[in-house]
Amino acid sequence: MSRRITTENKPVTAHSHTTVSTAGHKTDAQPARKYIVLAILAAVVTIGLKVGAWLLTGSVGLLSDAAEGLINLAAALVAFWMLTVAARPPDEEHAYGHTKAEYFSSGVESSLILVAAAAIAWFSIGRLWNPQPLENIGIGLGVSVVASVINGGVAFVLLRAGRKLNSITLTADGRHLVTDVWTSVGIVVAVLLVGLTGWLILDPLIALAVAVNIVFTGMHLLSDSAHGLLDTALPAADQAVIASVQAHYREAAGIDFHALRTRQAGQRRFISMHVLVPGDWSVQRGHALCEAIERDLIDQMPKTTVFTHLESLQDPASWEDMELDRATNEPQPEAR
């Protein structure tokens, strides 16, 4: 893991360095957008199937299921748009890239899930006061089951791709489709029970229960989006990788670290840290060490940008800048 470091006679001074993972910026987003195209096609097909099931049966539950299908389509279109934005390379106004656009997509998607829940509740409450007999239950349920199988398959693909590509947009769309599948399952059960028992009130009651369930999914996605926009630290697994790399260099080179800060913006991670080395090291030796540390981190965590700031272990000033706002020794004005 360690690299050969050369020594010159120049003493080390404060020095900052950045290494960016060179994994192709556009190639990261292209596969994600292809998966979203799959979600868009699935949404179009399932909307047609669910509308057909509603027209066949007259079930308010199946109508609400069709309404959620429209939400799925809108969410997938927004996801495709945001992934296109996230794929843009950094520019003068967005030096850190556009990858945070993915959080806007998941935020919109979670909001649409909540809208779908409200629509289901609205239709269901109306049907509570005015129950209606259902027709063609067998055919309608068969069509709805086909739509659910399609959504379930696409959800599995999106969730797996989301984990692989570290994309909150694909994960959000996959979770959304999972809620749609559970909605459909609940409604199919309700319609089947209505057909078996004749209890018409079961149709809106099960639809209301499904609405409550998907509210929790929407709130969870909304929380994930908020944490991403608030620059929450990297998860424990990534922190463990960083700690392992730091421990190696502490032991091998006799150095130290502090002021570690991490965050994630869509598929890209950002890591910054101060590297403290003996004051008699040369600038070249310190620079080579930072290069090695940054490369080891990127090798283990692709799509990562690493910032290092080189400091002297013996300089008291090195210990005054660990917080976000640097400590100063300037005298404070006397109180009057």
Is the pLDDT score of 266 beyond 60? yes
Local confidence band at 330 (pLDDT 50, 70, 90 cut-offs): low
All domains of the chain in start order, with CATH: 15-21+234-319 (3.30.70.1350), 26-229 (1.20.1510.10)
pTM above 0.75, yes or no: no
Q: Give the pLDDT confidence score for residue 6 in this predicted structure.
A: 39
| 152-164 residue pLDDT tens | 999 999 999 988 8
Q: What mean pLDDT comes out for the span 269-279?
A: 93
- Mean pLDDT of the region 276-301: 93
Top pLDDT among 188 and 44 is at 44
Q: Which of 24, 48, 19, 35 is nearest to 79 (CA)?
A: 35
Q: Give the mean pLDDT of the chain.
A: 80
**205-233 tens-digit pLDDT:** 877 877 787 788 778 778 877 777 777 88
